[in-house]
Chains A and B, each alone.
Chain A
Amino acid sequence: MKEFALIFRLKDIADFKPSPEQMQERMNWLAGIAAQNKLVDKGNTLLPVKGSAKVVKADRVVTDGPYTEIKEFISGYVIIRAENIDEAVEIAKGNPIFEQVGGNIEIREVLKRD
């Protein structure tokens, strides 16, 4: 079994606050992974709002948030366990955000630092 990080990206800040129904669907998806004993880390939400997001660039220039320049912003991540990347992709496909608000999920195999 390998571990994969699923990194969520949303397009619009307005999508960041899901309705209770959307929240329930997302929870069902996450708990469904845990029910298969394939959840390594339920991860966290990364706040995209002013005062909670900054970027430090070359020459230590600090800007507000990542969302001023790029269209998509990272909204959170989880880490799952799967046989291979194809299985991880299948799990990601089941995520309800595609029907709810769009956005994308990046799947990256975790290489552990020793």
Chain B
Amino acid sequence: MTAVICRHFGLNHIAVAEDIASDTFLKASEHWALNGIPENPVAWLYAVAKNKAKDYLRHLHVVQNHSERNNSLVEEPAIDVEIDERIIRDSQLAMIFAVCNPAIPPEGQICLALQVLCGFSLQEISNAFLTNRETIKKRLQRARQHLRNNEFSLEHLSEKHIASRLDTVLKTIYLLFNEGYFSETHPSAIRKDLCSEAVRLALILTENSLTCTPKVNALLALMCFQISRLEARINAEGKTVLFEEQDRKMWDQQMINLGNYYLIAATEGNDISKYHLEAGIAYWHTTEDKNKWQHILRLYNQLILIEYSPMTALSRAFAISKVYGNSEAISEVEKLQLDSIYHYYALLGYLHSTIDKKKAIENYEKAISLTTSPAAKQRLTEEMARLQ
């Protein structure tokens, strides 16, 4: 709603747009409590917002005339605040591109996206980032400064802006999703919220022919495959369940089908992005194919050639163990020199567990000493206990 109203006022009046949006929801909560929820709540909300926007513009007009000492002739301005489904869709799309400004650091973009596009409160964002409100507030202030300074028009999202910012948009959505999916410390409700908001934003991109690129579809496919395992991944106590111990019956087949659908859509054209490769890996994980680890290793090989990351290097080594055995993988891992992250020792511990229990325990101990996450500590301690 903020996005739609901003379309009329411009980004430098984003605060006014947000006020109108929150006034509208306040009015809704009062009115609906007394009179029940209207037949078409969305239309109701936008009708109220539209009137509030008109009132504001009229008020502005009067004030301006007054200051010009011209109050005898207050002519009613032709105020037209148009709102329909297409405008709602386009405004949200344009706002995504406004928020994903390369000048704003990635974590600022995510905070801003959560606030402006997903309607999260300051407290909810702080919870999502496990950071105090003050830090988030400052981060948002800096990000909003950029937003206002920018001469970005929400009304005419140009192809130039789309081309230059689409990668940043995808990265922000990807990070938002991962924040929800991989964090070991969040309550599962917050995790699901972050994941589904990331999917919602990506879906908006698929609805416009200019932004519905193979990369967007690949990212959506990846997120669908990951979400299909969300329930199986977290047990009743909120702890992460490792892939191999997950109950496959809990995987959401509908999400897997959706992932397949977007993966096929992603294969148009010759573009192979890291989202394609990651979606491919996630796809093979959903299958029971006997050669699946060979496919997964091949995709990890391609992924690490596109972009180095320590986690990709370690996941690739895990795939090597599945294809060539643990000893082969150990020598590959030892070359990585990632001795500052606990995952490195956790993987070595796992790989040694079938070969040399003493070494496995030593590595698990190092891993435990390196992590601050209580969940990871507990999981590693359990792994170690199994060996003793």
The answer to whether A27 touches B335, judged by C-beta atoms less than 8 angstroms apart, is no
Interface assignment of B298: CB less than 8 Å from any CB of chain A: yes
Asked if A79 is at the interface (CB within 8 A of a chain B CB), the reply is: no
* Chain B interface residue number, banded: 10 to 19
How many A-B residue contacts, CB cutoff 8 Å? Answer: 38
- Of B149-157, B170-178, B300-308, B374-382, the stretch lying at the interface with chain A is B300-308
Which A residues form the contact surface with B (CB < 8 A)? 24, 27-28, 30-32, 34-37, 39, 42
Query: Is B193 close to A, CB under 8 A?
Result: no
Could you name 21 residue pairs across A and B whose Cβ atoms are closer than 8 Å? Answer: A27-B301, A28-B297, A28-B301, A28-B320, A30-B301, A30-B305, A31-B300, A31-B305, A32-B335, A34-B305, A35-B304, A35-B308, A35-B312, A35-B317, A35-B332, A35-B336, A36-B313, A36-B337, A37-B313, A39-B305, A42-B305
Q: Is B7 an interface residue (CB 8 A)?
A: no
Chain B positions 283 through 324: 1 when the CB is less than 8 Å from some CB of chain A, otherwise 0: 000000000001001101110110010001100110010000
Q: Closest chain A residue to B303 by CB distance?
A: A31
Question: Looking at chain A's contact residues, is the secondary structure mostly helix, strand, loop, or mixed?
Answer: helix
Closest CB in chain A relative to B238 CB, distance in Å: 33
Whether B313 and A35, one on each chain, are in contact in the complex, defined by CB atoms closer than 8 angstroms, is yes
Given contacts A34-B304, A34-B308, 8 further A-B contacts (CB under 8 A): A24-B298, A27-B298, A27-B301, A28-B301, A34-B305, A35-B317, A35-B332, A35-B336
For B313, the closest partner residue in chain A by CB is A35
Min CB distance, B285 to chain A, in Å?
19
In the complex, which residues of chain A have a beta carbon less than 8 angstroms from the beta carbon of B313?
Answer: 35-37
Interface residues of B in 255-303 (CB under 8 A from A): 294, 297-298, 300-302
Q: How far is the CA of A36 from the CA of B335 in the complex (A)?
A: 7
Give the residues in chain A near B335, CB-CB below 8 Å: 32, 35-36
Instruction: For the complex formed, measure the closest distance between the CB of B8 and the CB atoms of chain A, giving whole angstroms.
Output: 49
Q: Nearest-CB distance from A108 to chain B (Å)?
A: 22
Chain B: which residue is nearest A29 at the CB level?
B301
Q: Which residues of B contact A31 (CB under 8 A)?
A: 300-302, 304-305, 316
Question: When A and B form their complex, which 9 residue pairs have the shortest distance between CB atoms, in order from nearest?
Answer: A31-B301, A35-B313, A34-B304, A37-B308, A27-B301, A31-B304, A34-B305, A35-B304, A42-B305
CB neighbours of B300 from chain A (8 A): 31
Q: Give Cα distance in the complex from A31 to B298, angstroms.
A: 9
Q: In the complex, what's the smallest C-beta–C-beta distance from B297 to chain A, in angstroms? A: 8
Closest-CB distance, B164 to chain A (whole angstroms): 25
Residue of A nearest to B320 (CB): A28
CB proximity of A78 to chain B, nearest CB, Å: 10
A46→B332 CA distance, assembly (Å): 29
The answer for the CA separation of A9 and B316 in the assembled complex, in Å, is 28
A36 to B317, CA, bound (A): 11
Instruction: Give the contacting residue for A35; candidates B298, B302, B316; CB below 8 A.
Output: B316
Q: Distance (Å) between the CB of A26 and the closest chain B CB?
A: 10
Chain A residues with CB below 8 A from B316, complex form: 31, 35
Give the chain A neighbours of B320 by CB distance below 8 A. 28
Q: Are A36's CB and B336's CB within 8 A?
A: yes
Chain A residues with CB under 8 Å of B297's CB are 28
Give Cα distance in the complex from A42 to B308, angstroms: 12
Of the candidates A27, A32, A39, which one forms a contact with B332 in the assembled complex, judged by CB atoms under 8 Å apart?
A32
Q: Which residue of A lies closest to B333 (CB)?
A: A35
Cα distance A35–B313 when bound, in Å? 5
Distance in angstroms between the alpha carbons of A87 and B337 in the assembled complex: 14
